[in-house]
Amino acid sequence: MYKLVKEGSAEIFVPVEEKISKKLPVFYNPVMKLNRDITILLLRQFPPLSICDPMAASGIRAIRLTKELSFKSIIANDYNKKSFLLIKKNMKLNNVKFVVKNMDANLLLLNSNGFDFIDIDPFGTPNNFLDAAVKRISRRGILAVTATDTAALSGTYPKATLRKYWALPKKDAMMHETGLRILIRKIQLIGAQYEKALVPIFSYSKDHYFRVFLRCDKGKSYVDEIVKMHGMLDNAGPLWLGSLWDKRLVNKMHKSCIKGSLPLNSRIKKNNKNKELINFLKIIKEESKINAVGFYDIHEIVEKEKIREIMKKEVLMKKIKDNGFKAAETHFSGTGIRSDIPYGRLAAILKKG
Ligand SMILES: C[S@@+](CC[C@H](N)C(=O)[O-])C[C@H]1O[C@@H](n2cnc3c(N)ncnc32)[C@H](O)[C@@H]1O
């Protein structure tokens, strides 16, 4: 049984099932709309690309990309026969055309001549698909990776992290940032083997998943620069110690989102459904300006320093700025502050009240 749903400029058939799980005959998760919105906003900042959606499920991503973006070519694939048939049906329903395949994602990628954009969006870990995706991402291309095994990356199963991501996680207030950085380093190490330097241009953690977009530079010296930026953070890692964002890109995405460029459907724009995305991008825009790996968790410091009263986040940020440092909220945690202020100075401000 299928029902019609609207997302962005697309209208598609999805299974009627109440519970979102990988047991669905064809997978569709409305929560991942934001993931797809961000993908479209980001890709709009680049010239038309050849796009591969190797795990397309209902086809929602490929259909939206076709309708909401200029592109060179789009190919959607899923090894599930039911998905394959539904993608074709949804494609017709939306009056769009792209190539649809029904094969293993790795075979599809490896048998291709490569793509400018590859979107790895599996159930759980992206590990099985990294090698083929990295091999087939073009020079200056963009590789997007979603990981939903956040528990393994964030410290719930340290042995699993070591096995799957070759690093040690840390279960604390910063675990989502360290987990995301561990994932990034793993992808970069796969790239290093093929002399491909994968530079994060937009990364985030949300709901049940991590997401990163990496630009591919080709050449040994670029790779050497990347590997130099791997190290430990607070006993977690090795992980990526470089920037998580391209500041200019984040700015452009935020601006274009405010302008209401997404989705193209004006009715949705009027209802201001993009508020969550605009706020999310605004926080990331501000934190991307701060040159600091990791953030301070106010609750953790207050507990450690035995401070009685917790200062309001806005007040604390103002005091940090008054002391000549930068400060911003972080999308990783509601109680976190990203700042270049040294720990001692911050603790002193909090103690003084
Ligand atoms: C999380 S869903 C993808 C969701 C989709 N990208 C979206 O935005 O709605 C993962 C999909 O990957 C497919 N899949 C898993 N392993 C695969 C493989 N080895 N080759 C091709 N497709 C695969 C599954 O059938 C499933 O449809």
Q: What is the pLDDT of residue 268?
A: 46
For the Cβ of 27 lying below 6 angstroms from any atom of ligand 1, the answer is yes
What pLDDT is attached to residue 266? 44
- What distances in angstroms separate CA 65 from CA 69, 79, 106, 150, 271, one per listed residue? 5, 20, 22, 26, 22
Domain boundary assignment for the chain = 2-250, 251-288, 296-352
**pLDDT bracket for residue 98 (50, 70, 90):** very high
Instruction: Tell me which CATH code domain 296-352 carries.
Output: 3.30.56.70
Span 156-192, pLDDT tens digits: 999 999 999 999 999 999 999 999 999 999 999 999 9
pTM for the complete prediction?
Answer: 0.96
Mutating to test ligand 1, I would choose from 26, 34, 55, 61 the residue with most ligand atoms within 8 A of its C-beta, which is 55
Burial of 321 (0-12, 13-18, 19+ CB in 10 A): middle
User: Is the Cβ atom of 197 under 6 angstroms away from ligand 1?
Assistant: no
Residue 267 above 50 pLDDT?
no
pLDDT tens-digit map of 291-317: 999 999 999 999 999 999 899 999 999
Instruction: Find all residues with CB under 8 Å of 163, minimum gap 6, and list them.
Output: none
Tell me which CATH code domain 2-250 carries. 3.40.50.150
- Dump pLDDT digits (tens) for 206-242: 999 999 999 999 999 999 999 999 999 999 999 999 9
